[in-house]
Structure 1
Amino acid sequence: MKQFFTVLGGMGTLATESYCRLLDERTPTHRDQDYLDYMVLNHATVPDRTEWILDHSKPDYNPLLIEDIQQITPLQPEFFVLICNTAHYAFNRLQAATSIPILNMLQETVNEIKNIAPNAKRVGVLATRGTIASGLYDSYIQNAGYEEVKPTPEILDATEDLIYHDIKEAGHSDGKKFHELVRTMIEDQKCDVVILGCTELSYANEMNPETEFPVADSQSVIVDRSLERALAIRNQNNNN
């Protein structure tokens, strides 16, 4: 297979399935051959990213992702997509393991805010404790000229309950919980837009779409960037 890309997934699996589903739904098709060529590596046994970020005595997930990247690189994918916000904690370390570009979900998500909420000033972030505690989105948001609003301890607890208990453990999304989290960030914390900074939250948004308040859905954004890049590569090759 040539002119394909690789999805680094399994963190978690439902979120990876959501990425693939959205990608296929958004691909313009009239026949089987119109779909994109891509490889999905669903590495579900990668250790929890948040646990390691908060406590480096826990198993480090990075060596496994680096091994995955180095195993796939000789196959020469056009690019990698990393389907986990928190795993971007050591993004530069992962990118250093290959000459093939890895799309940066965090950068692309912040870039998209200008299209979602052109007049936004205060940008809220809903994410795992690891993402929030490490300030993973901080520099991206600040460099784009926005004021970052992090969740209160109560909002963070409720967010992790949805991510870990409902989605990762029970395998379902509670739409009421999800919409209340977004509403609280917009109305109570006075955010202009809310970043869904965890792919489980993106899964929740797919299952029960947020239609009342503006959200920057990290997974939805990276689906669009993946699609644009893959179609551009295909068109370039077809024209050569």
Structure 2
Amino acid sequence: MTVKKKLGIIGGMGSRAGACFLQKIIDYSPATSDQEFLEIIYHNNAAIPDRTRAIVYNEPSPIDAILRSVDLFNRNGIEVITLGCITSYYYYRQITEHTSAYVINPLHLIFESIKEDYAGALRIGILATTGTINSGLFHQELGSNGLDIITLSHHDQENLFMRSVYMKNGFKSAHISQEARDLMKRSIDKLSEQQVDLIIGGCTEVSVAISPDVVDFPYIDTLDLLAKRTVDYCYNLEKINYLKEWIRK
């Protein structure tokens, strides 16, 4: 097997989502023995301030705490970094300026996935935190390529999706209630009712709630896509060659 790259994962945003991502990395790895798995430093950095509250309400920025993880990786020769929170990629430039490791950005992967697997999809529904939506991360990446970005109404965004994530026993909790699961499903139903061609699960908590293999409509799980492409890149597999274009950006 070819020489593998050392991977650093910043988790804790939330902890369950980060663990979900780590499990996906293991599941998608082409390893047949202990020694063939990737060398990974997983930092469950639960001290990182909330990204949505920083972006929407100007509360404390998470960047210093994120860079604490990056410093840990820099000291240990990590070559590739990923983050277990889509909203945190709002700080992508600041992160890349702080390390020589390659930081894989899932926003850079989404358009390629749409072109390859969902050609003709124009109305793209985004299920993500208010921080991600307000920051325009998906709007910038996909809107600039001629796609229409569809989101939930303000009422449904806050009272269905965000509530399912942040409520007591929501998807950021250690124990997830049936009420939270029902609210998440209703938010997906509401988005699909807007005649979208494709839904993107643009929040890592969506990945906790929904398994891509049980969705019966066109759907991209951003965390799942990031895990697959991270494995490809760390194992130096041919199909990830197009990422070299993003490295130069």
TM-score range, shorter chain: 0.7 to 0.9
Q: CA shift at 1:173, angstroms? A: 6.4
Conserved in 1, the CA contact under 8 Å of 2:157 and 2:187?
no
1:181 equivalent to 2:187? Answer yes
Report the AA paired with residue 203 of structure 1: V
Tell me which residue corresponds to 1:172: 176
Q: CA shift at 1:210, angstroms? A: 4.2
Distance in 2 separating the partners of 1:179 and 1:190: 17
Report the AA paired with residue 182 of structure 1: I
Distance in 2 separating the partners of 1:159 and 1:107: 24
Tell me which residue corresponds to 2:71: 70
Q: CA shift at 1:71, angstroms? A: 3.2
Report the AA paired with residue 101 of structure 2: I
Q: TM-score, normalised by structure 1?
A: 0.88
Conserved in 2, the CA contact under 8 Å of 1:10 and 1:43?
yes
Question: 1:117-149, CA deviations, whole angstroms, 9 ceiling, x for partnerless residues?
Answer: 222001111111111122121110112321111
Q: Secondary structure at the match of 1:91?
A: helix
Tell me which residue corresponds to 1:24: 26
Report the AA paired with residue 228 of structure 1: D
Report the AA paired with residue 235 of structure 2: L
Tell me which residue corresponds to 1:236: none
Q: CA shift at 1:74, angstroms? A: 3.0
Distance in 2 separating the partners of 1:30 and 1:93: 37
Question: 1:91-137, CA deviations, whole angstroms, 9 ceiling, x for partnerless residues?
Answer: 11111111211000222133212234222001111111111122121
Q: TM-score, normalised by structure 2?
A: 0.85
Distance in 1 separating the partners of 2:49 and 2:90: 14
The number of aligned residues is 229
Within-5 A mapping of 1:97-112: 97-112=98-113
Match of 2:199 among 194, 203, 216: 194
Q: CA shift at 1:62, angstroms? A: 0.5
Q: 1:7 to 1:170 in 2, by over 3 A?
A: closer
Any unmatched runs of 5+ in structure 1? 234-240
Match of 2:209 among 201, 204, 215: 204
RMSD: 1.9
